[in-house]
Chain A
């Protein structure tokens, strides 16, 4: 079920809110209600996949308990083995559903002799599997290193892994941060108000900005023989689309969490204002970046073991980051692209230089944005040749015309939204910072929400990018 659907807004959410408000907080009744709702939420997309999630919950519950028992018994190697098996089990689940199709197609393409032995798999991807698998790994890792106690109550662990607001598109919540909220959260009027307002803001970002720009991007990326301006328009539209799509969804998740008393971490912080690729990844999908940093990069040694090891660690992290986003060469190359940029920045100490040089500071923002836009082309294209062709069109290869009717038409269609989207990427001026606390802002969000609902009623274009991850 998507947050941007009539059945979520007008069937699921009122029912879950009512149950959560009416049930007493004692005896874990509210948690049990939220868990049941979360499973129903997940089953709505594809009922059979609930079994995969329940299997993941049972597996991780048992793995952590076994690991703790072995650790307390002084069986260090056994404890490490159990932990490794636990992580491998999660990765196997992810690998099977998400990467088997890609892996078998690559094998069959590269080694035609294997075609008889390796059948082409065609698994459907359970929604949000990358998110809940990473949360499960976070649980195992936090429990092992003592950042949080092992969970004895299977319902509490299930709630952590399956909680619907952050189930299908994050933010990725760490177990250590979540644990205290399972039993000790409070739903206040202020929290409910803030959460609902945040939800509406996210809904409006997604429905009104991201979906409109998605039409432009989809048209541009589907077009053969696009002009230079048209290609740039499509790339810029996609740059905004993915931010408002994912950012909007994160806002909705954070807002829903607050309505039910949870506090989820922020996921974005004006990413398009970054002055370097390193900074961009500190501002974009922050919970994923933090997850890779704390559970992969630092355990591998980070930058503490010399330059060569650091470069190797970066290669691992960014290949995995690319792969996490999807099983396609375009995603792998996109991850590698950022790996190379960040490695180069680390080797040249670019962030420090930018701090010292005003010229570099001025130049770094547009150049970073240019790299980000080109990166999104890789990310959006269906294949590497398509990405190359699109990037070629952006830079005028193959005699692409400078401008055409397609570009003029779509620019007129999207002009208002491009301006709004660009303005929304900037930090709010000091005098407008209090605006979001005013009644006017709340009323405006309600009006825009009605407009967003009208798009749902008309079944307007409503894709969701991170739904696939």
Chain B
């Protein structure tokens, strides 16, 4: 029986793949630019991306790796407690140069009467041992010796495996919204606006669909499971305005209650576990909108807060807008309308400037943006 079925079933499976991929390959080969090599590479990439039952195969791959007793799956490591972390950490940047860059911008704004704080945001442990933690310590020491005010939040959210499990997604490298909410409260209190983060003043809601983070997307759902994604909304009403400035400098504006800070794509449509990114539930900085301005009429006694940060700051900026009247958040990795970060913050004239990154900002990036983009702020 097998001898009859087998030569039919297997070729049929291959043909099913052919019927799905052949039109894609033909289209990509025709449309892709460049020579034969580039076209072949484009076809190979498209075949992987459009593979039938792709999501099932991603999950299957993770299940197989897990069943084989492995902790390493597609460059993601599964820790003893199920937490996924990066397996490889690239070269560390020149820490003196990083410290000098931050000290430079801190000195300029301090001279203008702005309070400048370097906030060291927490990060998950990595496969490189203590190398990154030591580098982060060295950066903070360098900044402190230059007279920059620093705030180290690592111990509060990532100081132990228990804290990590509580404050980080298992399948994503970001801190979760409980951590962000707590950190927003800490920062607001530190800046004298802590009353906005009274425990009874906010509602914690959970998305109905599970969240598969960036690391989980590489391992599938059956390698380390999925996360739940919760977010916070203030119970009090307020008039909010969010201005999302794109790479071309054009702003998109939304006005209304706090809900305008939430991404309806995630909130209403739910999140596509494999393709979507529920972490962007709070609209904010990112590759599409490298600069965001939140206005909350009447909040925080008119104080103006500027944040220069990475994706960890995306929800932080949104939550802090509950406590400050005007909040500017900039991601220095991406161009924003031809205006430099330094000039944009200068024009904003903040009362407080917080520069905050997670420890992986110290790792040399793989050519996506300039290596010292987080730490050096040229005029133009």
Partner of B58, one of A9, A14, A196, A457: A457
> Across the interface, do A413 and B74 meet the contact criterion of CB distance under 8 Å?
no
Q: Does A179 contact B (CB under 8 A)?
A: no
Partner of A196, one of B4, B6, B61: B6
The CA-CA distance from A67 to B337 in the complex, in Å, is 73
> Across the interface, do B17 and A451 meet the contact criterion of CB distance under 8 Å?
no
Q: 8 Å CB contacts to A: which residues of B67-97?
A: 68-72, 74
The CA-CA distance from A87 to B54 in the complex, in Å, is 49
Q: Does B10 contact A (CB under 8 A)?
A: yes
Q: Does B36 contact A (CB under 8 A)?
A: yes
Interface string of A182-210 (1 = CB under 8 A from B): 00000001101100110010000000000
> Across the interface, do A10 and B14 meet the contact criterion of CB distance under 8 Å?
yes
Check A439/B1 contact, CB under 8 A, given A17-B11, A416-B68, A454-B60.
Answer: yes
> Across the interface, do B58 and A454 meet the contact criterion of CB distance under 8 Å?
yes
Q: Per DSSP, are chain A's interface residues mostly helix, strand or loop, or mixed?
A: helix
Q: Does A44 contact B (CB under 8 A)?
A: yes
> Across the interface, do B48 and A193 meet the contact criterion of CB distance under 8 Å?
no
Check A412/B2 contact, CB under 8 A, given A7-B47, A14-B11, A47-B36.
Answer: no
**B21 and chain A: residue at smallest CB distance:** A10
Q: How large is the interface on A (under 10, 10 to 19, 20 to 34, 35 or more residues)?
A: 35 or more
Partner of A189, one of B3, B14, B22, B74: B3
**Surface stretch bound by B, among A74-82, A316-324, A442-450:** A442-450
Q: Does A415 contact B (CB under 8 A)?
A: yes
Q: Does A15 contact B (CB under 8 A)?
A: yes
The CA-CA distance from A456 to B15 in the complex, in Å, is 17
Partner of B44, one of A7, A193, A212: A7
The CA-CA distance from A45 to B108 in the complex, in Å, is 55
> Across the interface, do A450 and B60 meet the contact criterion of CB distance under 8 Å?
yes
> Across the interface, do A413 and B70 meet the contact criterion of CB distance under 8 Å?
yes
> Across the interface, do B40 and A44 meet the contact criterion of CB distance under 8 Å?
yes
The CA-CA distance from A189 to B48 in the complex, in Å, is 32
The CA-CA distance from A438 to B3 in the complex, in Å, is 9
Interface string of B32-45 (1 = CB under 8 A from A): 00001100100110
Q: 8 Å CB contacts to B: which residues of A318-338?
A: none
> Across the interface, do A193 and B14 meet the contact criterion of CB distance under 8 Å?
no
Partner of A451, one of B2, B10, B64, B218: B64
Interface string of B291-318 (1 = CB under 8 A from A): 0000000000000000000000000000
**B218 and chain A: residue at smallest CB distance:** A458
B54 to chain A, nearest CB (A): 6
A residues in contact with B25, CB < 8 Å? 7, 11
**B44 and chain A: residue at smallest CB distance:** A7
> Across the interface, do B7 and A416 meet the contact criterion of CB distance under 8 Å?
no
Interface string of A416-452 (1 = CB under 8 A from B): 1100000000000000000000110011001001110
A118 to chain B, nearest CB (A): 29
A189 to chain B, nearest CB (A): 6
The CA-CA distance from A449 to B11 in the complex, in Å, is 13
The CA-CA distance from A46 to B4 in the complex, in Å, is 38
> Across the interface, do A196 and B7 meet the contact criterion of CB distance under 8 Å?
yes
Q: Does A13 contact B (CB under 8 A)?
A: yes
The CA-CA distance from A17 to B15 in the complex, in Å, is 10
> Across the interface, do B74 and A460 meet the contact criterion of CB distance under 8 Å?
yes
**A409 and chain B: residue at smallest CB distance:** B71
Q: Does A72 contact B (CB under 8 A)?
A: no
> Across the interface, do A15 and B61 meet the contact criterion of CB distance under 8 Å?
no
> Across the interface, do A458 and B11 meet the contact criterion of CB distance under 8 Å?
no
Q: Does A6 contact B (CB under 8 A)?
A: yes
**A405 and chain B: residue at smallest CB distance:** B129
Q: How large is the interface on B (under 10, 10 to 19, 20 to 34, 35 or more residues)?
A: 35 or more
Q: Does A459 contact B (CB under 8 A)?
A: yes
> Across the interface, do A10 and B47 meet the contact criterion of CB distance under 8 Å?
yes
> Across the interface, do A458 and B58 meet the contact criterion of CB distance under 8 Å?
yes
Q: 8 Å CB contacts to A: which residues of B101-135?
A: none
Q: Does A120 contact B (CB under 8 A)?
A: no
**B19 and chain A: residue at smallest CB distance:** A14
Partner of B7, one of A7, A10, A189: A189
Partner of B6, one of A10, A197, A455: A197
Q: 8 Å CB contacts to A: which residues of B207-252?
A: 218
**B51 and chain A: residue at smallest CB distance:** A457
**B54 and chain A: residue at smallest CB distance:** A457
Q: Does A5 contact B (CB under 8 A)?
A: yes
A residues in contact with B70, CB < 8 Å? 212, 413, 416
B240 to chain A, nearest CB (A): 41
* Residue among A6, A197, A460 with the highest chain B CB neighbour number at 10 A: A6
The CA-CA distance from A200 to B13 in the complex, in Å, is 13
Q: Does A453 contact B (CB under 8 A)?
A: yes
> Across the interface, do A439 and B54 meet the contact criterion of CB distance under 8 Å?
no
Partner of B14, one of A9, A197, A459: A9
> Across the interface, do B57 and A454 meet the contact criterion of CB distance under 8 Å?
yes
Partner of B21, one of A11, A47, A193: A11
* Residue among A189, A443, A453, A458 with the highest chain B CB neighbour number at 10 A: A458
Q: Does B369 contact A (CB under 8 A)?
A: no
> Across the interface, do A458 and B61 meet the contact criterion of CB distance under 8 Å?
yes
Q: Does A215 contact B (CB under 8 A)?
A: yes
> Across the interface, do A413 and B72 meet the contact criterion of CB distance under 8 Å?
yes
The CA-CA distance from A457 to B56 in the complex, in Å, is 10
Q: Closest 3 A-B residue pairs measured CB to CB?
A: A10-B17, A439-B2, A454-B61
Mark A residues whose CB is within 8 Å of B.
Answer: 5-7, 9-11, 13-15, 17-18, 43-44, 46-47, 189-190, 192-193, 196-197, 200, 212, 215, 412-413, 415-417, 438-439, 442-443, 446, 449-451, 453-460
- Starting from the known contacts A7-B21, A14-B11, A193-B7, 20 additional A-B residue pairs (CB-CB under 8 Å) come to A6-B44, A6-B51, A9-B14, A10-B14, A10-B51, A11-B17, A11-B21, A11-B22, A11-B25, A13-B14, A15-B18, A17-B11, A17-B14, A44-B40, A415-B69, A417-B68, A439-B2, A451-B61, A455-B61, A458-B74
List 23 A-B residue pairs with CB atoms under 8 Å apart, sorted by A's residue number: A7-B43, A7-B47, A11-B17, A11-B25, A15-B18, A18-B15, A46-B37, A197-B6, A412-B69, A412-B71, A413-B70, A416-B68, A416-B69, A442-B2, A443-B2, A446-B10, A450-B57, A450-B60, A451-B60, A451-B61, A457-B57, A457-B58, A459-B74
